[in-house]
Amino acid sequence: MADPNVPADRPRAWADRPLSPHLQVYRWPITMTMSILHRATGIALYAGTLLLAWWLLAAATSSQAFGLMQWFIGSPIGLLILLGYTWALMHHALGGIRHFIWDLGHGLGPGDRDRIARANLIGSIVLTLLLWIVGYWALGGTN
């Protein structure tokens, strides 16, 4: 079908064609963002598990190695890594539950998919904060 804005005697140039999807008009759906985050958190969990193995090896090796590892984990960078690992674990676990719900045939409608994806993100943040608050309280605060 001919475009009424282009004269019939002039072929439509490549530059006149619309770009689709274009970065200025394209918006990532929340489900796509959560899918990418699910994969990224899976990769982050591999790295965090290597740190956990390093901590266990340090504990089994010597008190000096364990003290060094404890110092690293207690540093601001170490605490940030632990916070990120906790969030990645919560996000990945809730993402697995989200996929399990979809595998059962529930929550597949467009609105349902968006709601469960948002719940995954919000739930992972809330669970991470709750775990850190409970852990801080259980360890006696700033001791």
Percent of the chain with pLDDT over 90: 69
pLDDT at 53: 95
Domain 29-138: give its CATH code.
1.20.1300.10
Read off the pLDDT band of 34 (50, 70, 90).
very high
> Which of 25-34, 114-123, 133-142 ranks highest by mean pLDDT?
114-123
Nearest in space to 120 (alpha carbons), one of 142, 136, 140, 98? 98
pTM for this one? 0.77
Residue 106 has pLDDT above 60, yes or no: yes
When the pLDDT of each residue in the chain is averaged and rounded to a whole number, the result is 87
Residue 5 has pLDDT above 70, yes or no: no
Domain limits, the chain? 29-138
pLDDT at 124: 97
Residue 121 has pLDDT above 90, yes or no: yes
All residues at 6 or more sequence positions from 90 whose CB lies less than 8 Å from its CB, including other chains: 123, 124, 127, 128, 131
pLDDT at 110: 82
Residue 14 has pLDDT above 80, yes or no: no
Percent of the chain with pLDDT over 70: 80
Q: Is the peptide bond before 21 cis (omega within 30 degrees of 0)?
A: yes
pLDDT at 16: 61
